Amino acid sequence: MGLKKSFRVKKKQDFNAIFHAKHSMANRAFIVYQLPHEDLTHFRLGLSVSKKLGHAHTRVLIKRRLREIMRQLAPELLPRDIVIIARPGVENMTFAELQKNLQHILKKSQLLEKNT
């Protein structure tokens, strides 16, 4: 099962607010933007996968994998608005490599609770 709709950032104004906050961190695979939110009880996720990374089926596969990784990490994630931008190269990564890189950048961004 994927992420529920309440866990997703969909509106352009929400994406712009998160980008405008300028709380970002990057590694070779991802750029992560975050915006603290007082009235959230859980994280909300927005994904951006450029057309430069491949055809639609490739981009959809990347997004599915990222949502699944985030779903697995959900109990450990702080209540924030998060936007993840996939960088060139992720289209060639395995699920395990995506998971390792995403966990790394989330820890670096201090989005995972300390007990992990």
Domains of the chain: residue spans and CATH: 5-108 (3.30.230.10)
Q: Which residues of the chain have pLDDT under 70?
A: 1-2, 114-116
pLDDT of residue 6: 80
pLDDT of residue 116: 46
Is residue 7 within 8 A of residue 45, CB to CB? The reply is yes
Strand 44-49 with 24-26, pairing: unpaired
